[in-house]
Amino acid sequence: MDLRTWLPILIYLVLGAGVAVALFSLSLIGRKRPNATKALPFESGILTTQPARQRFSIDFYLTAMLFIVFDIELAFLYPLAVVLRDVGVTAVIELVVFTTILVGALTYVWRKGALEWR
């Protein structure tokens, strides 16, 4: 593995950091005149009654779980896709079996109602 191919990425990361820091320092130019009202969370002029970080819908958590499952399956599909033409029929059968399990899982969560947004 030649690390030289990764060198441009380091260059781009440094450039990106440079751009980000330059823009960040621009934000220091503006005049600072803080006051108590200005520092309030913006809620259309209504005074905030409760802290912002509260519990919210369980559906977000469910979506995150589903994403992890399907994204890992996706990560397994990529190497198989690269060698698919070389390996031929065996790879196709493996891929069909694998995808059937994936579709089975999707059908299960679908029937269980995990894809419904309440």
Partner 1 sequence: MPQEALLTMIIQAIIVVVVVLSSFAYLTLLERQLIGRFQARRGPNRAGPFGLMQPLADLGKLTFKEDFVPEGANATIFRLSPLICVIAAVATLSVIPFGGVHEIGGHTITLYGADLSVGVLFVFAMSSLGFYGLILGGWASGNKYSLLGAARSAAQLVSYEVAMGLSIVGVVMISQSLSLVDIANDQAAHIWYIVYQPIGFIIFMIAAFAETNRTPFDLGEAESELIAGYNLEYGSVKFAMFFLAEYTNMIIVSALAATLFLGGPDGPFLPGFIWLGIKIAVLLFVFIWVRATVPRLRYDRLMKFGWKVLLPVATANLLLTAVIVGLGFAN
Which parts of 48-107 interact with partner 1 (CB under 8 A)?
Answer: 48, 51-54, 56, 59-60, 63-64, 66-67, 70-71, 74, 77-78, 81-89, 91-92, 95-96, 99, 102-103, 106
Q: What minimum distance in Å lies between the beta carbon of 10 and partner 1?
A: 9
Distance between CA 3 and CA 112 in Å, rounded? 47
Considering only 30, 45, 104, 113, the residue that binds partner 1 (CB under 8 A) is 30
**Number of helical H runs and strand E runs in the chain:** 3, 0
User: Counting contacts by CB under 8 A, is residue 31 touching partner 1?
Assistant: yes
As given in the structure block, the two tokens for residue 55 are 């519990």
Which parts of 39-58 interact with partner 1 (CB under 8 A)?
Answer: 39-44, 48, 51-54, 56
Distance between CA 81 and CA 95 in Å, rounded? 9
Q: Quick check: helix, strand or coil at residue 118?
A: coil
